[in-house]
Amino acid sequence: MAIAVYPGSFDPFTYGHLDIAIRAAKMFETVHVVVVHNPNKKPRFSAVQRVEMIREILDNEKGNFIVNSFDTGLLVDYCKTVNADALVKGIRTNVDLDYELPMAQVNRDLSGIETVFIPADPVHGFVSSSLVKQVADLGGDISKYVPESVARKLRG
């Protein structure tokens, strides 16, 4: 039974993230979508809020999803705890690849776990959580980029 971990800040979860989660669920029997604390980022939403938002979204999708958060220690330790076979990451551009490749290599070096890169659908190629927050803060239409439940929370 293949288990994947799809980690990220997900602040907030976009349609790009949703697409990767759904496609991962077609390849893996269980997909853990894990909100991970990134010390380099100051989140808009708490980990509890992000987990709740993602659960609500994935409840309506086909696939065996488990949504959790994780804020201490190594991601590979979480992977070991849940017996994960692979990590999943979405790749939009070469910038993502430059950022993700060393993480994939160190995670494999630390634990043997492989990372599966899923190329983003070009439709979502420019969608990022930070851009979505900026557009929302400046009063722009974000309905194409995030599910309605997320858009409502971003609008306050």
Catalytic center residues:
17, 41, 92, 129
List the interface residues with ligand PNS, window 18-57 (CB under 6 A).
36, 38, 41
- Interface segment toward ligand PNS; rule CB under 6 A; list 22-30, 46-54, 100-108, 117-125: 100-108
CA distances from 56 to 20, 116, 150 (A): 16, 25, 10
Output the DSSP codes for 10-74.
-TT--HHHHHHHHHHHHH-SEEEEEEE--TT---SS-HHHHHHHHHHHHTTSSS-EEEEEE-SS-
- Interface segment toward ligand PNS; rule CB under 6 A; list 7-15, 44-52, 60-68, 130-138: 7-15
75 counts as binding ligand PNS under rule CB under 6 A: yes
φ, ψ dihedrals at 146, nearest 5°: -135, 150
Q: By C-beta, is 40 or 60 nearer to ligand PNS?
A: 40
8 counts as binding ligand PNS under rule CB under 6 A: yes
9 counts as binding ligand PNS under rule CB under 6 A: yes
Omega prior to 12 cis, within 30 of 0: yes
107 counts as binding ligand PNS under rule CB under 6 A: yes
Q: Which residues bind ligand PNS (CB under 6 A)?
A: 7-9, 36, 38, 41, 74-75, 103, 106-107
